[in-house]
Amino acid sequence: MSKIKDPFAGERLKETPFHPRQSALNLRNAWSSWNGYLFADCYYEAEYEYFCIRNQCGTYDITPMQKYEISGADAEAMLNRMVTRDISKLRKNRVTYVCWCTDEGRMIDDGTIFMLTCGSPSLAWLRKSSFGYKDVTIKDLSDTVAALSFQGPTSCEVLKKMGLSKIDTLKPFGIKHFKFKGGKLMVSRTGFTGDLGYELWIDPKLALDLWDALYAAGEDFGIQPYGETATNMARLEAGFIMPEMEFNEALKTIHFQHDQTPLELDLGWLVDFKKPHFNGRNALLREKEKGTEYMLTKLDIQGNKPAEESFLYSDKACTKQIGYVTSAMWSPVVKANIALAMIKTKHLDGDIWAEINYVKELRQLSKMAKCTVMKKPFWAPARAKATPPGPY
């Protein structure tokens, strides 16, 4: 067979190291892209995958997530100036969730620090942040580490069965290292579903071995791959934010203040004003003193029609618009019509009405539904925080 040069070579999406297994299971051929990688929206059916996460366990390929290793004597100082949280207290083998802002306090991205991971490429910002520090090296590990998110109530049991000893003693946001097929497997108890779950980090060469070991151990525990759509459902129940849904990355925002601050995103707990200096501190302090204009709010909405893209009003007659829904769904586990919404802070204590547009057999319909503000995540089972998480 003659080799024909692919004229679109540079345009094709990359395949992650797990691709051979995942493509075999992607019955619907439902692919989209994430950071240049081919990436599953769903494998068979989003609802089905969602129930796997909530009732059994599932894997979600997070290889496309951006990963950076920041090292050198000044690495901590550099990161501590960049992120809003105080990471000088971060102990070895612990992960912390952080966000970082522009000088104006607008949120650029969120991520976790153990190596630094985040949803979007951030090398330029990291480089800018490291300018002036004498001893900092930034390495982009994005293509050199394969990663699987492994979530769900049976996930701990499966890892145990796979032979990861004492995995049940790993605390949330903890990290453990294991030997695996002559290589190293790093496991962190982290995830994006609000439930018990882990993230597995491995050399791409061992990715398929890991997959096979995991699926062999998980056979009786209902293991399934899940895609973006199911992830998005699970994270909404957990109350987690998503770029381009809840927030617009500040460096990609064109219109003035069409991005958000961590305070508006209800991430005030990530902003440590006791820390003398971090990027955006002055701006955020001013905002805190003045009060945010908007606040990301969890809503429980009457009825069962998802309030997708709804406008919110302070009255049923829609005379005063006070915000908009960013994500919405009917939540099967909570059995509630839930949403995240940006609402003008000063209207949070009053009535909130959602104008829900929906389609019924090609008819465009609309109705008003009363909303109740929820303080806690919609879904937060005890096992997500318990150590050991207990059998399921």
Partner 1 sequence: MTKQYDTIIIGAGHNGLVCAAYLAKKGQKVLLLEAADTLGGLASTREFHPGFKASVAHTINQFSSKIVGDLNLAAYGFKSGKPMQSVGLSEDGQHVSIANGKVTGVGQSDIDAFARYTKMMQRYAKAMAGFSLQTIPPIGNNSFSEVLTFAKMGLKIRGLGREDMRELLRIISLPARDLMDENFDNPILKAMLSWDGLIGSKMAPRSPNNTVLMMLFRMIGEHRGAHALPVGGMDGLINALSNALTSSGAEIRTSAPVGQVLVNRSKNGLSAVGVILQNGEEFKAQRIVSAVDPKQTFLDLVGVDNLEIEFTNRINRLRSDGYVAKLHLALDGLPDFNGINIPNERMIIAPEMDAIEFAFDDAKYGEASSEPVMEVMLPSLRDQSLAPEGKHVLSAHIMYVPYNRKGGWTKKAKDQLAKNAIKTLSQYAPGIEKQIAHAELLTPADIAESHLVTGGHWHHGEFALDQMMMMRPTYEAAQYKTPIPGLYLASAGCHPGGGIMGGPGHNAAHEILK
The contact set with partner 1 (CB under 8 A) reads 77, 81-82, 102-103, 125, 128-129, 131-133, 273-277, 279-282, 285
Q: Which is nearer to partner 1, 13 or 285 (CB)?
A: 285
Q: How far is the CB of 255 from partner 1 (least distance, A)?
A: 15
Residue in 364, 301, 300, 355 with CA at minimum distance from that of residue 323:
355
The residue (of 8 and 131) whose beta carbon lies closer to partner 1 is 131
For partner 1, the closer of residues 32 and 102 by Cβ is 102
CB nearer to partner 1: give 283 or 333. Answer: 283
User: For the chain, what is the total number of helices (H) and then of strands (E)?
Assistant: 8, 19
Supply φ then ψ for residue 34, to 5 degrees: -145, 120
Encoded tokens for 193 = 């579903």
Q: Is 363 exposed, middle or buried (0-12, 13-18, 19+ CB in 10 A)?
A: exposed
Sheet with strand 96-101: strands edge to edge? 96-101, 107-113, 116-118, 66-71, 137-140
Q: How far is the CB of 88 from partner 1 (least distance, A)?
A: 12
As measured in angstroms, the least distance from the Cβ of 281 to partner 1 is 7
* CB 142, min distance to partner 1, A: 21
Q: What are phi and psi of 304, to 5 degrees?
A: -130, 10
- State the minimum distance, in angstroms, from the CB of residue 129 to partner 1: 5
Cβ closest to partner 1, residue 214 vs residue 271: 271
Sheet holding 57-61, edge to edge: 175-180, 183-188, 197-202, 146-151, 57-61, 223-225
Please identify, using beta-carbon distances, which residue of 177 and 286 lies nearer to partner 1: 286
Q: How far is the CB of 265 from partner 1 (least distance, A)?
A: 20
Going by their DSSP bridges, the two strands 175-180 and 146-151 should be labelled as unpaired
